[in-house]
Structure 1
Amino acid sequence: MRTLHTAGLLVPGPGAAPLGDGAVLVEGDRIEALGPFAELAARYPQVRVRRWPGLLTPGLLARGADTLLERTYYPDDPYETAELGTDPISGADALGALELTEARWGNSARRGTQKLLARGVVAVAGRFAIPAVRTAVVRSGLTVLPPAPYEGPPALDPLPDAVRGDLHAVREAAGQAFHGVLEPGAPARFAVFAVADEAELLSRGATTCVATVIGGRLLHRRR
């Protein structure tokens, strides 16, 4: 089934000209077309429409995800939070005291990937040494990339503050954190943020995410 995703502003990729009232037409796991919503809606009158507030862009890339998911533990709410609290746990001493098994690491990684999806992340870069963690990441739908050479801090860095609710703007363009571009034939992989434009996304961060689509599937939707 075709789905037409539309938002107040569409940015197809880094440096691309924004399109007001733009839309992305998805069929299966691929982008079939993109352009003004009115034109695509007229061309496909029976299409399912999802209207989103704000800015529709390529999803974000989280670098150093092995640190995020293999050296940070996310307590299980509500079963562990009464004892451990709600904040992610890191540091060798604190993690050692938990005596974590591979199964618990895998469960923690599943909770961690949900936090990333809720921030518009569609791809992660890192090497995972714990099999259960890698399985959790692959099953989440996130694209796994090898670590990239250091190129300076990204524009929107999901590590480590994404799990605590903040992202810091440290470059001049939010597009520097995008993974891929939106174009016909490309994977249907994008995010929507409740902001007016890239400048506001850079300023307010990825906690403004309202929807994340990977492989044409809506994997996160703010309720």
Structure 2
Amino acid sequence: METIHAADEVRLSWDTGAERIKDGAVLVGRDGVGGIGTLAELRAKFPRARVRRWPGVLGPARVHEGPLPQAPSARERIHEVLKTGAVVVLAEHVGTAELRAAAERNDVVVLARTRVPAIVPSGRADLAVFDADGACVATVCAGRLVHRRR
């Protein structure tokens, strides 16, 4: 099922000069980005899609560049990363088989070096929503909602 993730503002990247879409939305189908625009535009094009509205700013999920947060298990350490709005971790910080397996099971990308995250048409649907204080409201990893703040 397709889902439209909508927010007060959508940013295609976190660069200061990046495009911003007021009352923006991103269409997610399976694990990819199927459309980007205003909520009204995407609802008109995809009337059967489920709509999830989020308070704040929706943009690309982030890269977690430091050591993973401490938690009792590898799965919980990966989930702590997802709760920050990140879906990418650096290989140097997932040195055990358990951490690599937990990352793989959760579709978290493991990279040798950092990259600049961006939302691109037909790209993998890795999204995060942040409130006015910078706290993560929701994280979408490969099209799946993996965290939402209650």
Taking structure 1 as the reference length, the TM-score comes to: 0.61
Are the aligned partners of 1:31 and 1:185 in contact in 2 as well (CA < 8 Å)? yes
Q: Does 1:213 align with 2:109?
A: no
Identity %: 40
Decide which structure has greater helix share. 1
Residues in 2 aligned to 1:41 and 1:129: alpha-carbon distance in whole angstroms? 43
The one-letter amino acid paired with 2:84 is R
Equivalence for 2:32: 30
Shift of 1:179: 4.4
Aligned equivalent of 1:46, options 36, 43, 48? 48
Shift of 1:68: 2.7
Residues in 2 aligned to 1:179 and 1:53: alpha-carbon distance in whole angstroms? 24
Residues in 1 aligned to 2:12 and 2:95: alpha-carbon distance in whole angstroms? 34
Decide which structure has greater strand share. 2
The one-letter amino acid paired with 2:108 is L
Residues in 2 aligned to 1:42 and 1:129: alpha-carbon distance in whole angstroms? 46
Shift of 1:220: 0.5
SS at match of 1:132: helix
Equivalence for 1:222: 149
Q: Does 1:110 align with 2:58?
A: no
SS at match of 2:99: helix
Are the aligned partners of 1:59 and 1:179 in contact in 2 as well (CA < 8 Å)? no
Are the aligned partners of 1:58 and 1:190 in contact in 2 as well (CA < 8 Å)? yes
**Deviant stretches of 4+, over 6 Å:** none
Please identify the structure whose Cα radius of gyration is greater: 1
Are the aligned partners of 2:63 and 2:117 in contact in 1 as well (CA < 8 Å)? no
Residues in 1 aligned to 2:39 and 2:130: alpha-carbon distance in whole angstroms? 18
Query: 1:1-223 counterparts in 2 under 5 A?
Result: 1-13=1-13, 14=15, 15-64=17-66, 67-68=67-68, 73-74=70-71, 76=72, 107=73, 109-127=74-92, 128-147=94-113, 179-195=116-132, 204-205=133-134, 208-223=135-150
Report the aligned-residue RMSD.
1.7
Residues in 1 aligned to 2:42 and 2:131: alpha-carbon distance in whole angstroms? 23
Deviations 1:114-166 (A, max 9, x none): 11111101101123332112112222221100145xxxxxxxxxxxxxxxxxx
Residues in 2 aligned to 1:32 and 1:220: alpha-carbon distance in whole angstroms? 21
Task: Say how many residue pairs are matched.
Answer: 147
Structure 2 stretches lacking a partner, 5+ long: none
The one-letter amino acid paired with 1:126 is A
SS at match of 1:34: strand
Residues in 1 aligned to 2:108 and 2:89: alpha-carbon distance in whole angstroms? 7
Residues in 1 aligned to 2:81 and 2:64: alpha-carbon distance in whole angstroms? 8
SS at match of 1:6: strand
The change in CA–CA distance for 1:42 and 1:112 in structure 2 (over 3 A counts) is: same
